[in-house]
Amino acid sequence: MNFYRDWHTPRVLTLDLDDTLYDNGPVIDYAEDYIKTRIGVEYLEGNRLSDEVYSSVRQEMLSVCPELEYDVSMLRYFIFKEVLLRAGKSSDDSGAIAEALMHDFIKVRSRINVPRETLDVLYRLKQRYPLIGLTNGNSSPKLARYEDCFDEVILAAVNMPSKPNPAMFLHAAMYAGVDISEVCHIGDNENTDVLGAIKAGAMCVRQTQYHCDNSELRILPHVCINNIAELTDLLL
């Protein structure tokens, strides 16, 4: 555990989900492959939707509607719909199929295994602090069966810009009825979690258990930890 900024005990905790509470890499990789293969088999004459086509359509959607960057579910829906339109489906059919595909995608990408140790830490923290989830992604704590760890979960959307925009942090503080300086955010990503929390005026703990390390910090959090279990020493 390393300290980089002045630290005081917070009143509210916000937590990132993906790659902070669990290893998101294998789950999202499988979900991406599943949905692209399914689209290919069912709607593209058996040819898997390629990563290149997906990326190209994604850029086109963002060029037309940049605010979709804040809502990954809505963006993915419009990508699916556009791919289906190009495959010859009508607008109505494309919309209905894209909606069904999104429903299945979220189910598959929410097959998350939150480690028992992490759940134990969350339940202990919840006895002392309000816990609010903040995510740029679209995994569902309800489908993953750990929603009872949180008092609230805030998802990025067109009207709730994704981290590092301060909006979600400020909304969490307002929800909890505290000043933003009394909020501590826990997350893994330097460019979204750390930068967003610092910009908003909250404290930040960077958790590096999955896919990142502290060797080259560019944006200093208040504290860095290497394992979620260290939160009990810091906060309890």
Catalytically annotated residues: 16
Structure tokens at 130: 């309000």
Q: Which amino acid belongs to residue 170?
A: L
Nearest to 138 by CA among 154, 161, 149: 154
CA trace torsion 12, 18, 21, 24 (10° rounding)? 180
| Strand ranges in 5-151 using DSSP code E only, listed in sequence order | 12-15, 131-135
| Strand ranges in 110-201 using DSSP code E only, listed in sequence order | 131-135, 152-155, 183-187
Q: How many CA atoms lie within 13 A of 108 on its CB side?
A: 17
Contact 84, 43 (CB under 8 A): yes
